[in-house]
Amino acid sequence: MKKELVRRAVLDSIVMVVLALLFALNYMLFVVKNQFAPAGFNGIATMIEYKTGFSVGYFSLIINVPLCLFAFFFIDRGFAAKTFIFSVVYSVALLVMQTERIESALVPFQYDAQGVDTIFPALIAGAVGGFVYGLSFRRNASTGGADVVAKFVSKKNPLLNFFWINFAINAVIALASYFVYGEPDGSGGMLYEYKPVCLCMLYCFLSSMVGNSIIKGSKSAYKFLIITSHTEEIEREIFLKLKHSATRIQAEGAYSRTSRDVLLCVVNKRQLIEFRDILAKYDNTFSVVETVNEIYGNFVNVKKDENWVKKTLEKAEKVIGVKGEEKPAEQKPTQ
């Protein structure tokens, strides 16, 4: 058990180091040359660097060290430790990449839209940023800055989605960027542009969408709860047509006080239409369906076994009398 914890801690640390390096590279290649604030406190740091020349790397260290201490005491120690690793590696990587030698080596790879097609670097940077956000939170960590604030708020109110809290914080930063990237108009005034605001909002929205998708997982499916008087027939069709099983639950109607069977079954997206067709054959059947974000377990591997269907049908035959041939479903009465 202790070895497993150590192994997981080492793996988490390595992942956070790699993500921090990717995040720093993303900043240098797609953000620096295109004059828009990416997101969070990193966006504030970008605007400060644009106006004063004070490095984002130093600002990230200054702001994230106290935030990690706050997270250590008020959020989670493991979360704080991994966020600290990310913040330190990200800051150091930026400082190294901003040295004259490394920066000149990165120039051929930088996406400089030259004020024309700046939407493309914002899209790429947002997608990469969302990837980093999502993977870091799957490891119970964050990229620091506004992520820590959003994590604290979502912990206090679990009904609030972390990524949309973060998006709200970033929207305020986007509005601030309107006043930062203005240029003198030649008559003593300032000419402000909406483009940096739009690019920042686009970056924030895309990174939130990608991050949220990664957090939810890719193994999505549909869960059906079926209340029916045709339990055995539906079970039989699930076995034969979908090569699935189901869980039978005994229930009682709150109004009628009659006993009914409730079937619980999880199917993948490809089987959704076929499953609905099965249910449509039977009267006195009520079902509720909801999206399942991720499925755990080795059921997929079990189904790959060539003997799985045979064994399942043999067992089903003993339990509910399922045969290899389909029995016609009871038809709904015609009006």
**Domain positions in the chain:** 2-216, 221-320
pLDDT digits (tens, 9 = 90+) for 124-173: 988 999 899 889 988 888 888 888 887 888 777 777 766 677 777 777 87
Q: Is the predicted pLDDT of residue 20 greater than 90, yes or no?
A: yes
Helices (H), 31-145: 40-52, 56-74, 77-97, 100-106, 119-138
What's the average model confidence in pLDDT over 22-42? 81
Q: Are 208 and 164 in contact (CB under 8 A)?
A: yes
What's the average model confidence in pLDDT over 116-127? 83
**pLDDT of the residue at 101:** 86
The CA-atom distances, in angstroms, between 284 and each of 3, 116, 227, 262, 322 are: 54, 62, 8, 12, 21
d(CA 293, CA 247): 19
- Name every residue whose Cβ is closer than 8 Å to that of residue 300 and which is 6 or more positions away in sequence: none
Least confident stretch, 120-124, 177-181, 262-266, 318-322: 318-322
What's the average model confidence in pLDDT over 220-229? 82
Most confident segment among 12-26, 94-108, 172-186: 12-26
What's the average model confidence in pLDDT over 218-232? 80
Q: Are 134 and 213 in contact (CB under 8 A)?
A: yes
Q: Is the predicted pLDDT of residue 178 greater than 70, yes or no?
A: yes
What's the average model confidence in pLDDT over 322-330? 48
Cβ neighbour number for residue 27 with a 10 Å cutoff = 23
Q: What dotted CATH number matches 221-320?
A: 3.30.70.120
The predicted model scores a pTM of 0.69
Most confident segment among 13-22, 174-183, 284-293: 13-22
Main-chain dihedrals φ then ψ at residue 156, nearest 5 degrees: -70, -30
**pLDDT of the residue at 335:** 46
The CA-atom distances, in angstroms, between 180 and each of 33, 45, 74, 169, 335 are: 15, 12, 33, 17, 70
**pLDDT of the residue at 259:** 81
Give the residue among 42, 9, 34, 35 at the shortest CA–CA distance from 129.
Answer: 42
Q: DSSP character for 291?
A: E
Q: 174: exposed, middle or buried (C-beta count within 10 Å: 0-12, 13-18, 19+)?
A: buried
d(CA 10, CA 239): 43
d(CA 176, CA 43): 10
pLDDT digits (tens, 9 = 90+) for 45-100: 878 887 887 888 888 888 889 999 999 998 888 999 999 999 999 999 989 988 88
**pLDDT of the residue at 308:** 58
Least confident stretch, 32-41, 176-185, 306-315: 306-315
Give the residue among 136, 182, 156 at the shortest CA–CA distance from 40.
Answer: 136
254 vs 85, more confident: 85
